């Protein structure tokens, strides 16, 4: 058990920005919002998965929409309103909250609802990264029902997706509502049990985000190498480094979709990496050859300082280093890959696990 205070928000934002693989919502704006919430309602207790009481009712809370819109249309207390809506619908009070995805601002979206509601959060999430679609959560892959779920906007509109024949239908209906709501909304899913959380969540990801951020901070403070500090904290490897030379990004169908082209520098001079993204980075190719795909993490950070470069902030001329991290084990089983692998996103390539020394 630890306390999420205002002080840990900055490192969490950095770490969650990295783990967000481009998406999950702008971590800086998320941090500012969470800071305001913690200032107003006090720090939030963070429970390790094994500390969640047996009779707990744990509600998954998160943001949905396109990150390109999320930086212009800032969320407010929608996650709290979605929480109250799903409590009303199910007739059950939440006793703890859990993040939908650790990536980006979704790492702290849950804190805002938790601070307002006076509830603890679990140090875990449903992805261990960020993914663009609602149903892409380890919870749902391993048997937690994805419905009922509530969606709320900042205006005062809310809907319940009561029942769907597949989790993909929940995404479809949620996305359509989100687009109407202005491409930015928050949701809350019907409560899970402690056992469901322990069996289906990716554990300890909020601490990991915090530790990643602290490592970058320490490197800055001590004149160390922030990229090396990141790779020491979370086993992974450098995939590429260079300068952004082209960016095709459009907000369509409720997502930010596109490609970014990076011309190599130093060790990578003469090569070009192209990354396809749908909110999150999906597949990275160097000179046409695939070097990393979902569900492994393809993370862009500033070559200079290690700060995450998310989809909506990517721009021409940025010096970025692309890091790869192996996906959490829950994603690399056959069921996990069916929901998160390259095929799911329309690529014909098979998933080839990223090889990382010492793992």
93 binds its own copies (CB under 8 A): no
Pick the binder of its own copies from 46, 146, 159, 301 (CB under 8 A): 159
Query: Which residue number, 14 or 79, has a Cβ lying nearer to its own copies?
Result: 79
Contact 211, 290 (CB under 8 A): no
Query: Which residue number, 158 or 340, has a Cβ lying nearer to its own copies?
Result: 158
73 binds its own copies (CB under 8 A): no
Span of 169-177, 189-197, 239-247, 321-329 interacting with its own copies by CB under 8 A: 169-177
Which residues have a Cβ under 8 Å from the Cβ of 331 and sit 6 or more positions away? 128, 138, 295, 337, 340
Chain CA centroid to CA 85, Å: 23
Span of 64-72, 176-184, 273-281, 350-358 interacting with its own copies by CB under 8 A: 176-184
Query: Which residue number, 84 or 285, has a Cβ lying nearer to its own copies?
Result: 84
Query: Which residue number, 52 or 66, has a Cβ lying nearer to its own copies?
Result: 66
Tell me which residue has tokens 């095929």.
343
Query: Which residue number, 252 or 349, has a Cβ lying nearer to its own copies?
Result: 252
Which residues have a Cβ under 8 Å from the Cβ of 288 and sit 6 or more positions away? none
Query: Which residue number, 156 or 334, has a Cβ lying nearer to its own copies?
Result: 156
Q: DSSP letters of 108-157?
A: HHHHHHHHHHT--EEEEESSSS--SSTT--HHHHTT----SEEEE-SSS-
338 binds its own copies (CB under 8 A): no
302 binds its own copies (CB under 8 A): no
Pick the binder of its own copies from 161, 194, 273, 282 (CB under 8 A): 161
CB of 176 to its own copies, least distance (A): 4
274 binds its own copies (CB under 8 A): no
160 binds its own copies (CB under 8 A): yes
In 223-267, alpha helices (H): 226-233
Query: Which residue number, 163 or 350, has a Cβ lying nearer to its own copies?
Result: 163
Distance CA 342, CA 331 (A): 12
The SS3 assignment for 51 reads helix
113 binds its own copies (CB under 8 A): no
164 binds its own copies (CB under 8 A): yes
61 binds its own copies (CB under 8 A): no
Sheet order of strands, 272-278 included: 289-293, 280-286, 272-278, 255-264, 237-252, 319-325, 297-302
Exposed, middle or buried by CB within 10 Å (0-12, 13-18, 19+), for 196? Answer: middle
Interface positions with its own copies (CB under 8 A):
85, 89, 150, 155-165, 169, 172-173, 176-177, 179-181
């Amino acid at each position: 058990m630890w306390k999420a205070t205002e002080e840990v928000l900055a490192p969490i934002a950095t770490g969650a920005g990295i783990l967000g693989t481009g998406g999950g919502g702008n971590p800086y704006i998320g941090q500012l919002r969470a800071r305001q919430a913690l200032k107003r309602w006090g720090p939030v207790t963070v429970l390790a998965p094994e500390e969640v009481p047996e009779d707990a009712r744990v509600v998954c809370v998160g943001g949905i929409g396109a990150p390109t819109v999320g930086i212009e249309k800032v969320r407010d207390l929608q996650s709290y309103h979605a929480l109250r809506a799903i409590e009303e619908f199910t007739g059950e009070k939440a006793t703890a909250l859990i993040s939908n995805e650790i990536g980006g601002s979704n790492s702290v979206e849950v804190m805002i609802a938790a601070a307002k509601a006076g509830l603890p959060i679990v140090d875990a999430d449903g992805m261990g990264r960020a993914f663009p679609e609602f149903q892409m959560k380890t919870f749902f892959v391993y048997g937690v029902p994805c419905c009922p779920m509530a969606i709320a906007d900042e205006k005062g509109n809310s809907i319940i997706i009561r029942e769907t024949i597949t989790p993909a239908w929940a995404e479809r209906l949620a996305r359509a509502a989100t687009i109407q709501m202005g491409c930015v909304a928050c949701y809350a899913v019907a409560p899970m049990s402690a056992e469901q959380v322990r069996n289906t969540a990716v554990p300890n990801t909020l601490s990991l985000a915090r530790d990643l951020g602290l490592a970058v901070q320490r490197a800055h403070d001590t004149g160390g190498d922030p990229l090396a500090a990141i790779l020491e904290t979370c086993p992974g490897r450098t995939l590429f480094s260079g300068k952004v030379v082209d960016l095709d990004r459009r907000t369509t169908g409720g997502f930010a979709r596109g490609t970014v082209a990076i011309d190599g520098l130093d060790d990578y001079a003469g090569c070009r990496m192209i990354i396809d993204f749908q909110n999150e980075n999906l597949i990275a190719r160097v000179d046409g050859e695939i070097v990393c795909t979902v569900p492994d993490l393809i993370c862009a950070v500033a070559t200079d300082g290690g700060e995450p470069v998310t989809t909506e902030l990517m721009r021409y001329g940025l010096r970025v280093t692309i890091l790869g991290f192996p996906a959490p084990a829950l994603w690399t089983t056959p069921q996990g890959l069916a929901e998160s692998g390259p095929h799911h996103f329309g690529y014909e390539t098979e998933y080839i696990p990223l090889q990382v020394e010492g793992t």
